[in-house]
Amino acid sequence: MTAVIESLVNRFLQSTKHRVDVPLANGADFFARTGAWVTVHFAKLARDWTCYEINDVHRAELAENMPNARLVFADSFTQLAGDELFDVVLADCPQGLFGENGAYCEHFEFLPKVLPRLNDRAVIFFNVNVQPYQNKDHAVSRPDYYGMTDFDEWIKRRNAFYSISANERLSEDFIGTHYSSFFRSHGFGLDHLASAFEPSNLPGHPPFICRQIALLSRL
Ligand SMILES: C[S@@+](CC[C@H](N)C(=O)[O-])C[C@H]1O[C@@H](n2cnc3c(N)ncnc32)[C@H](O)[C@@H]1O
């Protein structure tokens, strides 16, 4: 998992080196966990970091992995009202449904809320699940914190977000076009998009988590 992120970050920095002057000032990870999978690989992109995480159980490991960051243990959705602007944002949201009564699904509600908090030129990380694995027929071996087994509702929400009609596999072309117009409709041009698939650990299900790093400019 971490090898994909590390090489994606390096590829993004290489491709944007004349446009992104690293380190940028202000970074925020709104779904930080321990930071080990994704966050640590972005640390060099910003001088100051704030890491938000809802689950206090990750406090010690997150502090170890991001020793200079300000840590906030809270629901990220409640932390978006201020006027501080960010140069780098990580939206490593849970898959499926999460929040009270499945209020949120993947990054679909989060991105529109965080975009007003971006600086005029900013870097944002998010995941696209190109075809969710149907796990409702399989027993979950751990507590289902994020509605991962409410597959029908998840697919309904995903179809609405992407304006598609079935759990069809999204192509990389589709992703580029969809997010370019999504960001445009929220006031940002998509200057560069770097993507990489995580290998699939599910037999018979091809790679489905496509990591994305976007360079945006306010229109
Ligand atoms: C995919 S993990 C993030 C992985 C992390 N970026 C890393 O590098 O290890 C998603 C995290 O989001 C947290 N989370 C879920 N809902 C949240 C919310 N409303 N606010 C803040 N964190 C939340 C979960 O507890 C989980 O740790």
Cβ atoms 84, 72 nearer than 8 A: no
Cβ atoms 193, 182 nearer than 8 A: no
Q: Please tell me what DSSP assigns to residue 144.
A: -
Sign of the torsion formed by the C-alpha atoms of 188, 22, 39 and 171: positive
What domains lie within the chain, and their CATH numbers? 2-218 (3.40.50.150)
Reading the block at residue 194, the tokens are 């770097």
**143 pLDDT exceeds 70?**
no
Rounded distance from Cα 18 to ligand 1 centre (Å)? 32
The residues lining ligand 1, judged by C-beta closer than 6 Å to any ligand atom, are 29, 31-39, 52-55, 75-77, 92, 94, 98-99
Q: For 47-91, how does the pLDDT look when each residue is reduced to its tens digit (9 = 90+)? A: 999 999 999 999 999 999 999 999 999 999 999 998 999 999 999
Structure pTM? 0.95
State the average pLDDT for the chain: 92
Residue with tokens 């091809």: 206
Rounded distance from Cα 35 to ligand 1 centre (Å)? 9
Rounded CA gap, 44 and 22, in Å? 7
Residue from 2, 4, 33, 41 whose mutation best tests the ligand 1 pocket (most atoms within 8 A of CB) = 33
Helices and strands of the chain, counted as H and E runs: 6, 9
Sign of the torsion formed by the C-alpha atoms of 4, 5, 11 and 12: positive
